[in-house]
């Protein structure tokens, strides 16, 4: 599954700041490896890729923790999947930035994704995006159709 995950990531349009960076390929390879390692199913892998794309476009700058004041939920969120501290131990929270910490970031994201994918019966994918976005199962999220569409596109390739 690692190869197909990497191919899906490489098919995404690059975040505009990342177009000329030499580190981008290594970052995407690290993300693909971590997602492949933590995902229990292709559906879960597809969800993690779609969620990360929706949250940060896998921006290198945001992954490094270099958020602007209006990004990363005003400094409350970190990493490609925009994890919030919410009782997370400081040692783990400090690893929510940096490409070198991608494995633990993917583990945290998978934990939240598994919970979210079970939270809303019926349309599990749409519901998961909603609850991870701070909404209820029945409360629409801005651009949720785009997120669900991305998920379906990725899932069709894994």
Contacts of 127 (CB under 8 A, 6+ apart): 116, 119, 120, 121, 137
How confident is the model over 65-87, as pLDDT tens digits? 999 999 999 999 999 999 999 99
Residue/partner pairs of 76-82 with CB below 8 Å, 24 or more apart: 79/105, 79/108, 79/109, 80/31, 80/52, 80/55, 80/56, 80/105, 80/109, 81/48, 81/51, 81/52, 81/55, 81/56, 81/105, 81/108, 81/109, 81/112, 82/55, 82/56
User: CA 113 to CA 62: how far, in whole Å?
Assistant: 20
User: CA 69 to CA 112: how far, in whole Å?
Assistant: 25
Among candidate residues 140, 114, 112, 115, the one with its CA nearest the CA of residue 126: 140
How confident is the model over 77-115, as pLDDT tens digits? 999 999 999 999 999 999 999 999 999 999 999 999 999
Q: Can you give the pTM of this predicted structure?
A: 0.95
pLDDT at 96: 97
pLDDT at 106: 98
Name the percent of the chain lying above pLDDT 90: 96
């Amino acid at each position: 599954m690692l190869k197909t995950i990497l191919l899906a990531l490489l098919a995404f349009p690059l975040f505009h700041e990342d177009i000329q960076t030499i580190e981008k390929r290594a970052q995407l390879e690290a993300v693909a490896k971590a997602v492949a390692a933590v995902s229990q199913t292709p559906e879960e892998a597809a969800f993690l890729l779609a969620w990360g794309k929706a949250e940060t476009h896998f921006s290198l700058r945001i992954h490094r923790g270099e958020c602007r004041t209006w990004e990363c939920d005003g400094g409350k969120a970190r990493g490609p999947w925009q994890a919030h501290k919410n009782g997370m131990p400081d040692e783990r929270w400090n690893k929510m930035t940096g490409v070198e910490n991608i494995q633990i970031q993917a583990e945290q994201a998978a934990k939240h994704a598994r919970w979210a994918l079970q939270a809303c019966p019926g349309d599990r994918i749409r519901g998961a995006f909603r609850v991870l976005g701070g909404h209820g199962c029945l409360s629409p999220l801005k651009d949720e159709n785009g997120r669900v569409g991305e998920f379906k596109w990725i899932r069709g390739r894994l």
